[in-house]
Chains A and B, each alone.
Chain A
Amino acid sequence: MADTEKWKKINKSREERPKLQEYSCWEELSPIPISLPIDGAMGITGDWRTFRPVIKEGCNKCGICWMYCPEGTIHKKEDGSFEIDYIYCKGCGICAKECPTNNMEMIRESDTKDD
């Protein structure tokens, strides 16, 4: 039995509405296709990488890599240092190229220990 009222849940507040809509047949669909914002709209884009950026010890926390990262996968931590979200980082290499102190290294994926 199709739940034709299901789509109306997207009308709720951000916290209450489903993160991802799931419909099984045409009767359940919302009147028009509405998309909701979600991380990883194209999947785990970290899979695209051949090289991954690694922040070395000499990093002076200037924030230039955070500024230039196209994807927004470099995040600032509480203590002012930066970490890279490897789930979505596409490995473009801009952060390593722009780092003013040469403390961002691009390491081949196959050479890294974790996945």
Chain B
Amino acid sequence: MASLKKVMEDEIACKEWFLPGNACCTGCGLEIALRWAMKALGPEIAMVTPASCLNVVIGLWPKTAPDFPQFNMAFAAGAAVATGFEAAFKAKAHKFPGKGWDKMTSICFAGDGGTTDIGLQGLSGAAERNSDIIYVCYDNEAYMNTGIQRSSSTPHGAVTTTTTFGKERYKKNLPAIMRAHDIPYVATCSISEPLDIYEKFKKAKSIKGTKYIHILAPCAPGWGFPSENTIEIARMAVKTGFWILFEVENDVLTLSKKSKPLLDPSKRIPIIEYVSTQKRFVGISEKTLIELQEQIDQDWEKISKEIYCQEEYSK
């Protein structure tokens, strides 16, 4: 695990790649995610951003905030455009060797709407092809850019403008779907652990094939909490076990540092402490709360069984 002191010595990590003075909300979770992803990756990338908050927070023409090649794109096209970049880099590396085209990374930085809903087809296609791209989903658990409508990634019980009494269905488990595609690397992150994001992106950059990273990025206006609590809420999501930090490399699951101790149920804080900090869960019923807690406990059961099997298998 990288230490903050060590990271602060790296030249690329010290630079701000997402220039300040942009249109992100105060205390935006997406901005922290992007800032740290870029500190790990550096500028030799081509980033495509399908429709999401990121599309518009960069500012109006002719100004922009990203200090690296970045392209806005239609909603459903994210993963496919990233594949296009990758193919172009390969074609150019063949035609113009020695110009650094083989060192370029192709990234799609999409929101949860552009990943779990409209972009799922493209993402599945890219994963099946094992396109050499990093696909990042920053998850603020709703269509925030258009004004907080529900997406497949909205959790059970959350109020959005299109789930006025709380969402009935559950959060779509994208990391599990991506694991089923047998891609070389799947990881989850939270903005409360920026150095964890840094490490995982550094690792993803070194792997060939489709890499999927899912970052939980709380949204202050969307979830209903004061902007200073963004990090605290992301941290609590991890501590309750609601958001599990792990990485899967070649089908081997490893829990990350902050989630590992939570295999012991007594170490997880009750979900009600997480839920009571956000306005979107105001008026949540007793029944929904129990369902949420049960879901968390079930997910952890599955994970601990899998880890047990893995350990037994490797003996």
Contacts and interface: CB of A to CB of B under 8 A. Distances in A.
**Do any CB atoms of chain A lie under 8 A from CB atoms of chain B in the complex?**
yes
Interface of A: 20-21, 33-45, 48, 62-64, 66-68, 70-73, 76, 85, 87-94, 96-98
B32 interface: yes
Contacts, number: 116
A33 B231 CA distance: 36
B194 A68 contact: yes
B14 A72 contact: no
Contact of B14 (A34, A73, A76): A76
A92 B4 contact: no
B198 to A, nearest CB: 10
A70 B28 contact: yes
A72 B229 contact: no
Chain B interface residue bracket vs A = 35 or more
Nearest to A73: B20
Contact of B228 (A64, A85, A96): A96
17 contacts: A21-B62, A35-B63, A35-B64, A40-B21, A41-B59, A41-B63, A42-B22, A42-B60, A42-B63, A68-B194, A70-B26, A70-B230, A71-B24, A72-B20, A76-B14, A92-B227, A94-B231
Interface in B78-108: none
A14 to B, nearest CB: 10
Contacts of B228: 92-94, 96-97
Nearest to B20: A88
B16 A72 contact: yes
B282 interface: no
A71 B17 CA distance: 11
Interface in B34-66: 35, 58-66
Contacts of A62: 4
The 4 closest A-B pairs by CB, nearest first: A41-B59, A93-B228, A40-B21, A92-B27
Interface in B222-251: 226-232
B19 interface: yes
Interface in B279-309: none
Contacts of B22: 41-42, 45, 71
A71 B19 CA distance: 8
B202 to A, nearest CB: 16
B315 interface: no
B26 A92 contact: yes
Interface in B1-21: 4-5, 8, 14, 16, 18-21
Nearest to B57: A42
B231 to A, nearest CB: 6
A67 B62 contact: no
Contacts of A42: 21-23, 59-60, 63
Given A38-B64, A40-B63, 18 more contacts: A34-B62, A35-B64, A36-B62, A37-B64, A38-B63, A40-B21, A41-B63, A41-B64, A42-B59, A45-B22, A70-B29, A70-B230, A71-B21, A72-B18, A72-B19, A90-B26, A93-B227, A94-B231
